A = this chain, B = another copy of it.
Amino acid sequence: MNSQSEEDYLKALYHLQTESNSVSTNSIANYLKMKPSSVTDMLKKLAEKNYVNYQKYKGTSLSKKGKLVALQIIRKHRLWETFLVEKLDFGWGQVHLIAEQLEHIKSEELIEKLDVFLGNPKYDPHGDPIPNKKGRIEKMNQKLLVELHQNQKGIITGVKRGTASLLSYLDKENIKLGDSVKVLEVIEFDGTFIVEINKRKLTFSEKICQNLLLETYD
């Protein structure tokens, strides 16, 4: 079992590591708002447990094992965020801090049942993909609604960052993540889209279309 702190470091590593190159001690310290010396200590400990490849002065990268743990925490984080937004009606600014706490709750079964309860969502409300139990992230094919053309279909996966009010608008219209959308018509003049969702015909302004994320199947 890993401590909360260890989990935070692994998650930070995951978010900071682009492709296969390694991450500097300073950048981790900066990301986690800690002193570099504290980071060094923890990296040694994580290296000891084979979660990271750490070489003095040379940077750090996640091992396979560490990456899997990181992905499982991210899975929990995103499932809880989905729960908070979808079921408890939270806005966005708020969910991150709470999910940051919830992601450390220890129980395999809890997270599997939560997943089922939420309908096995593939994306969280920000449109970020939710890794599966084994840490696999499905290759996603996400587009903004504005990028679709007539007769294309997609599934609503989220909205762009910082557009909380769009989410509440959707909520008011009874539109949820996972709903199917078909583009019936695009009005060239003002960029308005006429779409069909749940057998209802709806009109979306250009601005909405620029912020609504869909998963498309080509």
Q: Which residues of A contact B (CB under 8 A)?
A: 84, 87-90, 94, 97-98, 101-102, 105-107, 109-110, 113-114, 117
Contacts and interface: CB of A to CB of B under 8 A. Distances in A.
B98 A114 contact: no
- The A interface, classified by DSSP as helix, strand, loop or mixed, is helix
A109 B84 CA distance: 11
A89 B114 CA distance: 10
Contacts of A117: 87-89
Contact of A98 (B84, B90, B105): B105
Please state the number of chain copies in the assembly.
2
A89 B105 contact: no
Contact of A88 (B102, B106, B113): B113
Nearest to A94: B109
A114 B110 CA distance: 16
Nearest to A109: B94
B110 A98 contact: yes
Contact of A114 (B88, B113, B114): B88
Contacts of A110: 84, 88, 98
A107 B106 CA distance: 19
Nearest to A114: B88
Nearest to A104: B101
Contacts of A113: 88-90
A80 to B, nearest CB: 10
18 contacts: A84-B110, A87-B117, A88-B113, A88-B117, A89-B113, A89-B117, A90-B109, A90-B113, A94-B109, A97-B107, A98-B105, A98-B107, A98-B110, A101-B105, A101-B106, A101-B107, A102-B102, A102-B105
